[in-house]
């Protein structure tokens, strides 16, 4: 019987990050929410104010016998811009920061090694600003945020911002992606 692990990642808008990671083989659940909040149970409006310290994030459960933590990190580095501080595209504010919130010492070690490897690879010309911090808390977002892309594919933000990220994932990581015909 497989044992599942948990990962908490922030890569800008959680709608984008969720849409990517819920398509991966071995990922059994993805929840959009708020990580590292200084306020218990923050609302979307409170997070957008910048006064909670929270990042829009996803918390995912995965089966490491199917997909590794290292592979999840590799995909994370390639589906958002880890060189922009508190920003992804037109989404600006501390809630849109890039962060890996590690749950174990092993996740911390692997996240730091992965960051060093992506920096050395030359993939990005600017320095990586992704925060690697201990997991402190995660509060699920309001229900309408979960499965947002799958429920709103024809909404302009989904078509203009999320669709290109999903297409990139399908092209570059097709062997790691679930059968899209079941979505």
Residues designated catalytic = 13
Task: Name the one residue in this structure whose structure tokens are 């899209």.
Answer: 180
* Residues linked to residue 32 through DSSP beta bridges, in sequence order: 58
How far is it, in rounded angstroms, from Cα 75 to Cα 29? 17
- Orientation angle between helical segments 69-78 and 105-121, nearest 10 degrees: 40
Tokens of residue 9, six digits: 């990642």
**At 107, which helix (H) or strand (E)?**
helix 105-121
Beta bridge partners of 34: 56, 139
- Are 91 and 12 in contact by the 8 Å Cβ rule? The answer is yes
């Amino acid at each position: 019987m497989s044992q599942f692990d948990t990962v908490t990642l922030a890569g800008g808008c959680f709608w984008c990050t969720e849409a990517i990671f819920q398509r991966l083989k071995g990922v059994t659940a993805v929840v959009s929410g708020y990580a590292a909040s200084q306020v218990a149970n923050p609302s979307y409006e409170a997070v957008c104010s910048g006064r909670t310290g929270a990042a829009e994030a996803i918390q995912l459960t995965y089966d490491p016998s199917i997909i590794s933590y290292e592979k999840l990190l590799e995909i994370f580095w390639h589906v958002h811009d880890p060189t922009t501080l508190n920003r992804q595209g037109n989404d600006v504010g501390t809630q849109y920061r890039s962060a890996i919130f590690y749950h174990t010492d092993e996740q911390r070690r692997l996240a730091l090694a992965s960051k060093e490897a992506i920096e050395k690879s030359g993939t990005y010309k600017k320095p990586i600003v992704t925060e690697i911090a201990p997991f402190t808390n995660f509060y699920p977002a309001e229900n309408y945020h979960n499965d947002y892309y799958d429920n709103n594919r024809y909404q302009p933000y989904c078509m203009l911002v999320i669709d290109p990220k999903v297409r990139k994932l399908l092209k570059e990581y097709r062997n790691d992606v679930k059968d899209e015909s079941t979505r």
